[in-house]
Structure 1
Amino acid sequence: MTYDHRSEPDVSARVAEIAPALAQFAAVGRTEHVTRAANELGMPQPTLSRAVARLEQQVGVALLTREGRTVRLTRAGRILLAAAERALAELGRGVEDARGEADPDGGRVAFGFLHTMGPEAVPMLLRGFRASYPKVRFTLVQDYTDSMLARLREGELDLCLLSPSPEGADLTSRRMGEQRLRLVVPADHRLAGRRRARLAEVAEDPFVTLEPGYGLRRIVDALCAEAGFTPRVSFEGEEADTLRGLVAAGLGVAVLPPAGTHRPEVTELEITAPRARRELALAWVTNRELPPPARAFRDYVLSMRGQLPLHG
């Protein structure tokens, strides 16, 4: 057999070219008999013989030696057979995993949510849902709003619990509830003895805030602008508990959702501005069909509207 080695195609292109014949070659290699392999595959023996010969031409090396009706693997054939069987086994597992994604009773849901929803709201939702769907698996992603929306659009996430409600015809969102925001100050702050305060009263204080890209950061910046000042940011963080710790250490004040548990080192004041609140929403891609387990979880979460522990 003569092979043309004058042109060496790109490896990925070569793999794509030979991939359809790997299962046929593997059947021949396992049985070392073309007729039995053809019967196993449910195809004519001459068609299988031509397919294996074409594979040898594509690979550029003899894979079989013919001995009457039987064949024997060459050394190169044994190497390729071992690789083909590993690849086919992995592909089989991938097919089963992919099919499992659509299993309404035991599939997987990729769910993104804000850090502030992690301690109470999300565990409550998962516990309630798993009571009816105990085999459904979850990939949980805590992130900020802009990043979650990007991952949602890319298909990495099925659903997101975020704030504010996203805009754009490519996304669908449903309101889940509302949180009144609080002005968080150190326990020894000059305003700590009050129940309510105007944001303008802390215009000269340093602020600790979430990083740009967080929905809450945009809300806080807008509230401060309405109060007539730009906050002097001393520290930026990624989640509310860390910011509360910075406030407790006397490093600034913050505007945050209400805490689930009381911290004596800080005082949380109502903000008099009527827009000092954030809306929470569940979002998904409008024209992308959700897998059955994600669809079931979406419906369950929506049934819990108004029942999330948002603490005011």
Structure 2
Amino acid sequence: MAHESRSRRRLSQSSYPEDITRTVESAAGSWPSVLAPRLAYFAAVARTEHVTRAAHELGVPQSTLSRALVRLEQDLGVDLFARHGRTLSLTPAGRTFLASVERALGEVERAAEAVRADADPEAGKVAFGFLHTMGSETVPGLLREFRVHHPRVRFALVQGYGEWMLERMRAGELDLCLTSPVPNAPDLVARRLDEQRLRLVVPEDHRLAARKRVRLAEAAEEAFVTLEPPFGLRRITDDLCAQAGFRPRIAFEGEEAETLRGLVAAGLGVALLPPPAFARPGVVELTVTAPRAVREIGVAWLADRPVPPPVAAFREFLLGRRGRLLA
């Protein structure tokens, strides 16, 4: 019986019975699911060259380990070991296979360590997205304050416009994002944190530049420089102009608020923008009295995704800043 078992293991794929051959052929399309559970067993036996010692090292019954090795050789259609009583040695095919198995197991171990590190409450990672206009002052201030009590938490920071960040979050690339307008979608949880006043930015030699306050309707005949349509601030600009009774005449569209300020300074139009981090020469920023020109800032995350501890801690920190996020 033992001789028959050894002979069966040494069959080449071409000499397999028809049903075993079909099994190997069907498994070839899903090797990871077939082989993965047995790779660690194979590597342990290859390292010890002894089934009993490997079984003890792995904490599994010897019979379980022996069956796993036989199945592995049957699935591959090659002998990985030469048997010498209770000891084994790798065949040339086994040595080739072992090199790849060790690399694969090493990658799995590194990946496991990485995800465990990212979930560490004190030293994990938060993938955080935010609007370009919040990158120069607001977000650095938030991170500085948060890290007073969580100094080892790491951040992967991504800047973009609202819809783009939400798609990145749905794709698993972001944990949280600060965005505007506050999204309303069934797959998201979003909380309003604060609101930011928008100002009408005009060139310093503009007819309205001597004013401190202005009604938006007074700019109805002006050329506007705005962000491109996918940006939330562009939609807010269009909505506010509609409330003021006009449709803005767009002269230039861009992707970054400070570029728009530069266009305004060059006399190429006016813009509705949030306050700058630093005063920009060549422009005057006017308070808009009507309609009420604000944009809401909120934090959003996916409704059905588990939240690792460092992400939960930062989310609670942001929620605790409601009403003073932009202070």
TM-score (normalised: structure 2): 0.88
Distance 1:283 1:241 in 2: 25
2:125 to 108, 115, 120: 108
Q: Tell me which residue corresponds to 1:272.
A: 289
Distance 1:177 1:48 in 2: 60
Distance 2:311 2:261 in 1: 34
Which has the higher mean CA deviation after the structures are superposed, 56-65 or 120-129?
56-65
Distance 1:264 1:12 in 2: 64
- Determine if the alignment matches structure 1 residue 76 to structure 2 residue 85: no
Q: Tell me which residue corresponds to 1:88.
A: 105
Distance 2:116 2:29 in 1: 26
Q: Tell me which residue corresponds to 2:13.
A: 4
Aligned pairs (5 A) from 1:144-293: 144-293=161-310
SS across alignment from 1:89: helix
Q: Is residue 79–residue 91 contact of structure 2 (8 Å, CA) maintained in 1?
A: yes
2:56 to 19, 39, 42: 39
Q: Is residue 129–residue 159 contact of structure 2 (8 Å, CA) maintained in 1?
A: yes
Amino acid paired to 2:261? R
C-alpha distance 109-189 of structure 1, shift in aligned 2 (>3 A)? same
Q: Which has the larger radius of gyration?
A: 2
Q: Tell me which residue corresponds to 2:17.
A: none
SS across alignment from 1:263: coil
The percentage of counterpart residues that share the same residue type is 62
C-alpha distance 10-57 of structure 1, shift in aligned 2 (>3 A)? closer
1:55 to 65, 68, 72: 72
Which has the higher mean CA deviation after the structures are superposed, 55-64 or 284-293?
284-293
Amino acid paired to 1:308? L
Q: Is residue 193–residue 298 contact of structure 2 (8 Å, CA) maintained in 1?
A: yes
Q: CA deviation at 1:124?
A: 0.8
TM-score (normalised: structure 1): 0.92
The root-mean-square deviation of aligned C-alpha atoms, in Å, is 1.9
Which has the higher mean CA deviation after the structures are superposed, 167-176 or 251-260?
167-176
SS across alignment from 2:290: coil
Pairs aligned (count): 310
Q: Tell me which residue corresponds to 1:67.
A: 84
Deviation per CA, 1:257-295: give whole Å up to 9, x if none. 111211121111122223311111122233433211111
Unaligned runs of 5+ in 1: none
Which has the higher mean CA deviation after the structures are superposed, 251-260 or 167-176?
167-176
Distance 2:229 2:26 in 1: 47
Amino acid paired to 1:21? R
C-alpha distance 229-57 of structure 1, shift in aligned 2 (>3 A)? same
Amino acid paired to 2:11? T
Deviation per CA, 1:74-120: give whole Å up to 9, x if none. 11111111111111111112112222232111111111111111111
Q: Is residue 193–residue 299 contact of structure 2 (8 Å, CA) maintained in 1?
A: yes
Q: Tell me which residue corresponds to 1:20.
A: 37
Amino acid paired to 2:228? E
Q: CA deviation at 1:12?
A: 5.4
Q: Tell me which residue corresponds to 2:6.
A: none
Q: CA deviation at 1:256?
A: 0.5
Distance 2:157 2:301 in 1: 15
Q: Is residue 120–residue 309 contact of structure 1 (8 Å, CA) maintained in 2?
A: no
Q: Is residue 160–residue 282 contact of structure 1 (8 Å, CA) maintained in 2?
A: yes
Distance 1:12 1:292 in 2: 38
Amino acid paired to 1:182? R
Distance 2:266 2:74 in 1: 73
Q: CA deviation at 1:10?
A: 7.3
Amino acid paired to 1:88? L
Amino acid paired to 1:24? Y
Q: CA deviation at 1:203?
A: 2.7
